[in-house]
Structure 1
């Protein structure tokens, strides 16, 4: 990595830490410069639009890294057990994202500064959830003969599954302000996912 890229990365890491701890509005460019050990002029050299450009870069990098991890989880299924395991694997992938300090901070900034995000940034967050929804609906369709729900209810069923995952993450990271999702919460969430898959499975279906 070139010296200029190293300097930009240092500024981003300092700003990320300050934004996550004291908020975007309460953080000044002068504080970022001082903490990064550079002059105010140097900061604007790397980020001409100042603090706003730094925020946009942090949000963009965070969303991009989460998208890569989540988009790679899908594979073809043949049984309800396969479906259940895929959803649990997705949940575990998401939990792992937040065990990385930079990813955790980026997520918290994205949530707390949501009113400041541009339309495209907000749409990107919605797109991640929508991609998960589309893939899960396709998975249900692959095993529709094993399910006791009709195709017209697939979207609602997927919505419930996503809500189970979202609640776990938001309760722990946002409401309780924990930095990691505990093993107990993971266990409860995975039990709820298992229960949901059992509820949509035909009673007389035997999976071999």
Structure 2
């Protein structure tokens, strides 16, 4: 990695840490420069639109990492052990979010959602819907006898279970990890939902 790429990544890492700790509004450009060890104004060299562009990149990279992992975990599902596949997907999403970078990106995305542009919000929704559609496609391939609309509803239900538990543990309870108890509740709910498949 070139020195300029390292410097850019350093600024992203510092911005992610500060935005997660203090929020976007609570983090000054001066503080970003100081924490990154760069001269004033250099932030604008790497991010011409300043702090806002930095926020956009942090959100985009965080969501992209979670999506990449989800798509990888959705590969090769079979009708055997579908419940294990679904739980593996939940575990994968959880593990990405529980790592420092993933957790910080998740918190920033949720906390600063009002700052997202319409384009970013649409991209986030389309990304989320894409994972949900991929789950529905896998379910349809496994169970060809079911009505596609019902199968899509099942995939929405699976995603709703995931989202509820992640938000409950990470945001409402302010935990850094998904508890064993929560994972057991997810497993029980997934088991119940997949009985309809």
Output the TM-score relative to the length of structure 2: 0.91
Q: Could you list the runs of 5+ residues in structure 1 that have no partner in the other structure?
A: 202-208
How far, CA to CA, are the matches of 1:18 and 1:142 in structure 2?
44
Deviation by residue 1:85-114 (Cα, 9 ceiling, x = unmatched): 221111111011012101110111011100
Residues 54-76 of structure 1: CA distance to partner in whole angstroms, max 9, x if unpaired?
A: 11111121122112111112245
- The superposition leaves residues 131-185 of structure 1 with CA deviations (integer Å, 9 ceiling, x where unpaired) of 222122222322336x7x6433222222211111110101011211211111221
Larger radius of gyration: 1
Partner Cα separation in structure 2 for residue 75 and residue 48 of structure 1: 38
Counterpart CA distance in 2 for 1:13 and 1:155 is 38
Structure 2 distance, partners of 1:116, 1:52, is 9
Q: Any residues of structure 2 matched to 1:29-178 within 5 Å, and which?
A: 29-79=29-79, 81-144=80-143, 150-178=147-175
Distance 1:45 1:139 in 2: 45
CA distance in 2, matches of 1:77, 1:9: 35
1:22 aligns with 2:45: no
Question: For the Cα contact (< 8 Å) 1:20–1:109, is it kept in 2?
Answer: yes
Contact kept in structure 1, 2:59 and 2:105, CA below 8 Å:
yes
CA distance in 2, matches of 1:48, 1:133: 35
SS in 2 for 1:180: coil
**Cα distance per residue 1:17-64 (max 9 Å; x no partner):** 111111101111011111222221222222221111111111121122
CA drift at 1:194? 1.2
Q: Report if the CA contact (8 A) 2:67-2:131 is conserved.
A: no
SS in 2 for 1:178: coil
**TM-score using structure 1 length:** 0.87
Moved more, 8-17 or 105-114: 8-17
Q: Which structure carries more relative contact order (alpha carbon 8 Å, separation 6+)?
A: 1
Contact kept, 8 Å, 2:83 with 2:191, in 1: the verdict is: yes
Distance 1:41 1:186, change over 3 A: same
The answer (yes or no) to whether the contact 2:170–2:177 under 8 Å persists in 1 is yes
Q: Identify the residue that residue 179 of structure 1 maps to in structure 2.
A: 176
Listed as ranges, the gaps of 5+ residues in structure 2 are: none
Q: Do the aligned partners of residues 51 and 144 (structure 1) sit closer, same or farther apart at CA in structure 2, a change above 3 Å counting?
A: same
